[in-house]
Amino acid sequence: MSQHDSIRAVEWKDNHLVLLDQRKLPHNEQFIALYSADDTAEAIRNMVVRGAPAIGIAAAYAVVMAARKSYKQYPQDWRQRLLAEIEMLKNSRPTAVNLMWALNRMCEAADDIQGDPEYPLLELAKKIHQDDIDANYRMGELGSALIAPSHGVLTHCNTGSLATGGYGTALGVIRSAYSKGIIEHVYADETRPWWQGSRLTAWELVKDKIPAHLLCDSAAAHLMKLGKVSWVIVGSDRIAANGDVANKIGTYSLAVNARYHGVKFMVVAPTSTIDLATLCGNDIPIEERPQDEVLNVSNQRIAAYHTQAWNPAFDVTPASLVDALVTEKGVIENPTAEKIAALMAS
């Protein structure tokens, strides 16, 4: 599978965080060096880094830099100073539960540290990063095993190496299935208004030499009607305790169309994305982003002036429309609250 796994968007180098600036893709592969939690929070807000697992990993490394600064300036009171920076990071993007999960792990670890916190926190951040890559390979194996040999699958947004520590969630399943010869072709939604499919997923697929076609989001139902795909495979930013799935806007309509056309619908996400404290999808906060993202493309106005826009970044797909939830701990078919609770307790 390594021949289809050539990209890493989040890296720790020496004493700082390095991010591949996803706003510049696909035309420029530009890396940004970050040396503080403030800069990392800004990068998360501005979508230099995006994708729930990648956001969590970046935030974990940001805590290392914040702890270094706090300990150097306030060696007797560094924990209290660190908490303020962690709170700032938590507010950078509210929907992605991996962000809260990673920050809570770092915060709990900090409580038990005596002396300089930088090294032990860095070891934990690196473990969170590597565990994510390992989980993605595991999910790739589990998810690809569900797919009968077919000509194509459809994916939405970006769920690959750019959105994770490496390899990817939904795109990891696709990478695994393609490497085994199970699928021959990938269809990727363009994913307006940030064009994650056009700019990022298509870029990853081309880079790793996986045959793909890009399509307008509104063409997906017609693609299904023509029998071109057997599965829709997506990721998630938060999964509620009952199995409802928050993901990039447009996912819900794909699930509805898939059910109507007899196409299977798979969600691929690590268990860190499952939020047992959120009982159902109605309780998931949905981030609304600036309307200019809809009204403009690359700073070029495409809508009539004085037009208003509504720009929710996510929607919620009911668990009843999910045929398979793939995690690193195992697969849940037709997820329910009981099945998810049993998985998380295992």
Question: Catalytic residue among 237, 244, 315, 323, which?
Answer: 237
Distance CA 226, CA 222 (A): 6
CATH class for the domain made up of 139-345: alpha beta
Fold of the domain built from segment(s) 2-135? Four Helix Bundle (Hemerythrin (Met), subunit A) (1.20.120)
b (16+ CB within 10 A) / e for 269-298: bbbbbbbeebeebeebebbebeeeebbeee
Helix, strand and coil percent figures for the chain, each rounded to 5:
45, 20, 35
> Burial, 19: exposed, middle or buried (Cβ in 10 Å; 0-12, 13-18, 19+)?
buried
Q: Evaluate whether 244 touches 284 at the Cβ level (below 8 Å).
A: yes
For the chain, what are the domain ranges? 2-135, 139-345
Q: Evaluate whether 68 touches 19 at the Cβ level (below 8 Å).
A: no
What pLDDT is recorded for position 2? 55
Length of the chain: 346
CA atoms within 13 A on the CB side of 10: 35
Torsion sign over Cα 56, 323, 329, 133 = negative
Block means of pLDDT (10 residues each) for the chain, 346 residues, are 76 96 94 96 94 93 95 87 92 84 94 91 97 96 96 95 94 96 96 95 94 97 97 96 98 98 97 94 94 93 96 97 98 98 96
What pLDDT is recorded for position 340? 98
237 part of the active site: yes
pTM of the entire predicted model: 0.90
